[in-house]
Amino acid sequence: MLVEALTWLITPAPWAARRLGYLKEAVAITARYRRCRAAWAPHLEQSRDAILAFSAQQPRRRTLVVLGSGAGLDLPLEALAPQWQRIVLVDLVHPWAIRRRAARLPQVAFATWDIAGVAATLLARPDHLPEPVPQWPLPADTDAVVSLNVMAQLPVVPLAWLAAHGVPDAACDVWAQQVVAAHWRQLARLGIPALLITDFAAEARPCHNRTLQRTPTQATPAEMVQSTLFGFALPHAPVRTWVWTIAPCGEVSPAWERRLHVGVFAP
């Protein structure tokens, strides 16, 4: 906890990111990665491979924009950099880990954008459900966009904020789906090649062939499969899929692990 607190203090971030909780979430993700490095490795490798394959397909490579770059754990930045004239990494928080890697790559630039388009309204009216208006001021020479494991996360921090300010859960659930849908629509209307990598479902699985003890009202792991996109139905089938063990046995519970189903999509 001390390391996380210090990281929160020294990580550059706009006031909105600190106030709303985006910086706290970014720090927590990095801390979880340190604990779950081995379990996350296959997912991170699959994500990197998908991005490199997408990059190789592009006939023109002036500017590549990466939405949701975060700490760059799933981003093959060093391999991508020689392929593009410029790479713009977009997020509300750019941790030191990705800043240090980018410092050695003159092609890489950072942009601090609110990808979901809701932060300003959340701050101005904390008990109000803002209309998601994604506005991505892409450079004029952008030839491709990658949305990197961020779509399912877009409502997460705002939902915690809204709950803390008394907004009913039922209204928040509907709104969260609208945030996800707006992200998909924005990618689909860009008019340039776009790659979407996102989790779309989650499940709980028992650890080491254990049978979970439950009461009649508790769900079994098989019954706990649920959408991570808040019910949004992706219009296209994924190009490829894999499973990400985001919380291996012992991370959340000694009895079960949490797994995400991740897909690669072409909006």
- pLDDT score recorded for residue 251: 93
Q: Percentage of the chain with pLDDT > 70? A: 90
171 Cβ contact partners less than 8 Å away, ≥ 6 residues apart: 129
Contact of 215 with 232, CB cutoff 8 Å: no
- pLDDT score recorded for residue 167: 94
What average pLDDT does this structure show over 107-132? 95
In tens, the pLDDT along 182-220 reads 999 999 999 999 999 999 999 999 997 554 444 444 444
Angstrom distance (rounded) from CA 143 to CA 256: 43
Angstrom distance (rounded) from CA 61 to CA 260: 32
Q: Mean of the per-residue pLDDT values for the chain? A: 91
Angstrom distance (rounded) from CA 195 to CA 126: 33
Neighbour count for residue 207 (Cβ, 10 Å):
14
- pLDDT score recorded for residue 67: 98
**Please, what are the domains in the chain?**
2-265 (3.40.50)
What average pLDDT does this structure show over 100-112? 97
**Does residue 2 surpass a pLDDT of 80?**
no
In tens, the pLDDT along 28-42 reads 999 999 999 999 999
> Whole-prediction pTM value?
0.91
- pLDDT score recorded for residue 225: 78
